[in-house]
Structure formats: structure tokens, C-alpha cells
């Protein structure tokens, strides 16, 4: 059974836990550095990226988690979690930082503010999954080593909304707010493959 942590400082923690447990994972709420021990992977949920970054500092989780990510530890960031993993945040605050695990540039609220939230189909390989976009970051640039896994068309042609670079995954939307477990299943499959 895969042991997956969900960063439980702020955001959509409960929803990610429910999805992972549906798929048979053993889930650990990560609130302190010791919670990172013996995990196979971690999800950084959607929420407020500046709040999450502040709480990572005050909880003492930031540096141990950075060390794990630099070492190739599997991590999936959704919405605010994508911002936390991007190496460039185009409209971030002056004091904003990230783990710089994905060679992407993202724009916070890139699809609009709360009032502009929307749902749309997302093309994920041979599947079409529901995409829930709430103050979602928009991926505006991605490097050659970044694999685009999922796209959607928001009236401007196909645009990447799920990317992967090594063991780091970043997702613009909220898969945890739907009943579709495809994305979480892909992440768990990648963990299983890494453990072989």
C-alpha cells in the first residue's frame, strides 16, 4: 500500500484524502517535518499559495520538504500547489517563493478571479476528465524537459493544465473537487512504478 502525504496546512486537504483513500492509498496529513518520514509521495493541495508558503515556514516543513523535492521525491501540486512548484511566478508578491521543481512560468489567477471560475472538459491522454478552475494559475511557459500531460481549450486553442518534470507534477485545476479519480490514479501509478 502506498503511503501518500497531503500537506495539511491550508486548502483542499479533506477532498484529496478522500480521493486517495478511494484508490486504496494510506494517507498521512503532513503538518510538521516528522510527518514527511516514510512517505512514497506528497500532494500540495489547492488553497492560497502565499498562505501555504507562510505556513510551510512557520511549521518548519519548508526546508525538509525542499530537500526531498530536490532529491527527486514525488510530489503533485494542484492549483496553489502548482504555484508552489513552479520556477517562475509571473505576478507573485515580492516575498513569494517556490520550490522551483517545474520549469514553468505560471500566472496566479491566470484564468480570472473567483467570479470567473469555471468547469470545462480536460483532455488527459485518451480520457476526458472534468476540470474545475477556481482562481486557477495559468501555465504560460514550459521548458523542454516538461511533459504536458493534459490540455484544455478555453476559447484560445489547446493550453497545458497538467505537466510533469521528473517526479514533480503540477495541475492548474482541482481534480479533487470532482468524482473522477483518473489524475490521482495516474499519480499513484507513478509512485508504484518508482518503487519497483
C-beta separation of 105 from 139 below 8 A: yes
Q: Where are the alpha helices (DSSP H) in 5-107?
A: 13-22, 49-59, 62-70, 80-85
Rounded average pLDDT over 17-36: 97
C-alpha span between 41 and 65 (Å, rounded): 11
C-alpha span between 51 and 118 (Å, rounded): 23
Average pLDDT, the chain: 92
What pLDDT is stored for residue 117 in this prediction? 84
Query: Residues in the chain, how many?
Result: 196
Rounded average pLDDT over 25-48: 96
What pLDDT is stored for residue 192 in this prediction? 85
Domain ranges of the chain: 3-195
Interval 151-189: pLDDT, tens: 987 667 788 999 999 999 999 999 999 999 999 999 999
Backbone angles phi, psi at 78, to 5 degrees: -110, 130
Using alpha carbons only, give the angle 124, 112, 99 rounded to the nearest 5 degrees: 65
Percent of the chain at pLDDT exceeding 70: 98
What pLDDT is stored for residue 93 in this prediction? 74
Q: Give the position of cell 492560497.
A: 48
Catalytic residues, by residue number, are: 79, 174, 176
Fold of 3-195: Rossmann fold (3.40.50)
Q: Give the position of cell 516575498.
A: 95
What pLDDT is stored for residue 155 in this prediction? 67
Which of the 8 DSSP states describes residue 146? P
Q: How confident is the model at residue 196 (pLDDT cuts 50, 70, 90)?
A: low
- Which of 194, 148, 179 has its CA nearest to residue 18? 179
* C-alpha torsion angle, residues 147, 148, 150, 151 (rounded to 10): 180
What pLDDT is stored for residue 31 in this prediction? 97
What pLDDT is stored for residue 107 in this prediction? 92
What pLDDT is stored for residue 153 in this prediction? 79
What is the pairing mode between strands 41-44 and 127-133?
unpaired
Helix axes 182-195, 13-22, angle to 10 degrees: 70
Indicate the pTM of the whole model. Answer: 0.94
Interval 97-153: pLDDT, tens: 899 999 999 998 877 777 778 899 999 988 899 999 999 999 999 999 999 999 987
Amino acid at each position: 500500500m502506498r503511503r501518500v502525504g497531503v500537506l495539511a496546512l491550508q486548502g483542499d486537504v479533506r477532498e484529496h484524502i478522500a480521493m486517495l483513500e478511494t484508490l486504496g492509498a494510506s494517507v498521512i496529513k503532513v503538518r510538521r517535518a516528522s510527518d514527511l518520514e516514510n512517505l512514497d509521495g506528497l500532494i500540495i493541495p489547492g488553497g492560497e499559495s502565499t498562505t501555504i508558503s507562510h505556513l510551510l515556514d512557520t511549521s518548519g516543513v519548508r526546508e525538509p520538504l525542499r530537500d526531498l523535492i530536490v532529491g527527486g521525491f514525488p510530489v503533485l501540486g494542484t492549483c496553489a500547489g502548482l504555484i508552489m512548484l513552479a520556477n517562475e511566478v509571473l505576478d507573485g508578491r515580492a516575498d513569494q517563493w517556490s520550490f522551483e521543481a517545474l520549469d514553468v512560468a505560471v500566472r496566479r489567477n491566470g484564468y480570472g478571479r473567483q467570479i470567473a471560475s469555471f468547469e470545462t472538459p480536460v483532455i488527459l491522454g485518451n480520457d476526458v476528465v472534468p476540470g474545475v478552475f477556481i482562481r486557477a494559475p495559468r501555465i504560460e511557459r514550459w521548458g523542454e524537459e516538461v511533459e504536458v500531460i493534459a490540455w484544455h481549450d478555453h476559447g484560445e486553442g489547446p493550453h497545458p493544465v497538467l505537466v510533469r518534470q521528473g517526479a514533480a507534477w503540477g495541475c492548474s485545476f482541482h481534480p479533487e473537487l470532482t468524482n473522477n479519480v483518473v489524475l490521482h490514479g495516474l499519480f499513484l501509478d507513478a509512485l508504484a512504478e518508482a518503487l519497483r
